[in-house]
Amino acid sequence: MEWSIPKELAMGLKHHSYSDASLESSAAELSMDYTQVKVPLGKFNVGDHFMVPSISLEQTNFEVNNAPNAAGDPTLYTIKSQFMFIKKLDDKWMRIIQVTPSLHTDGDVLDDEAFSLTGLAIWKYNSTVNSGWTMGIGVNRLFGEYKPIPLVAYQYRPSPQTQIDVGFPVTRYEHRWKSNWTGFASIKPVGGNWRFKTTQEDKVNVSYSSWVASTGIRYQFKPKMWTTLELGQGFGRKFDIDTDDNTGEVDIDDSTAIMFSIGLHH
């Protein structure tokens, strides 16, 4: 039986925890926890496309220590309904269109700025049996602000057990050294943007952006079911509170991150 590299988490639970890190020009420290539950809703034929819908529930907790905090320590939520349309154009080309309406809020603010529609259009080209390219553009909140982001990556598979992706915004390497174990390393962005009501009853936009370099292992305990443990370092981190009057962006020191997930990988 030929081993292969598992794809992204399709259904399951994911949790990230970031240690305390100092805020710029301040004695204050910021810690962060993130939890996601993702559930696919099936696979359907829509014209000449496959449609794969899913729903994702996310919770992000920020906690500020060692400083008076008029804004409070926000617990923020994101609910996403993702619709992915896949079409194989020919033996070498595939097109993927992804549309994601979402709600991102602390639960109290539900105005029009708490809703967004993000999207992604990518084309995959298999240049050889063992290599290919991914090219496209997405509009999302990966870097905190809601803005367009180019996507380009070169994928090389020297064997079915090894995969290398070099590109933007994600670069990674993964190797399956046993039938039920893989090891990997990656660099990728992590971020988001939410609507939030402060302790002074002001409605503001809160955004966070960073890069995470990490390494980890996966263990397959049932067919297509994997548990993943990952240790990383967050860097290039920024936290921003945007009010009607001004924007207060601060840099955050690097932070250690521990990440865990369990669930179905296609």
The pLDDT profile of the chain, 266 residues, written as one tens digit per residue, is: 468 899 999 999 999 999 999 988 777 888 999 999 999 998 898 888 889 999 999 999 988 887 665 556 779 999 999 999 999 999 999 999 999 999 999 988 888 889 999 999 999 999 999 999 999 999 888 887 778 999 999 999 999 999 999 999 999 999 999 999 999 999 999 999 999 887 777 888 889 999 999 999 999 999 999 999 999 999 999 988 877 666 678 899 999 999 999 999 98
Residues 6+ apart with CB under 8 A from 230: 214, 215, 216, 257, 258, 259, 260
State the pTM of this model: 0.90
- CA-CA distance, 206 to 74, in Å (whole number)? 9
- CA-CA distance, 12 to 67, in Å (whole number)? 36
**Terminal alpha carbon distance of the chain:** 17
**Residue 27's beta-bridge partner residues?**
none
Tell me whether residue 232 is exposed, middle or buried, using C-beta atoms within 10 angstroms of its C-beta: 0 to 12, 13 to 18, 19 or more. buried
Counted residue by residue, the chain has a size of: 266
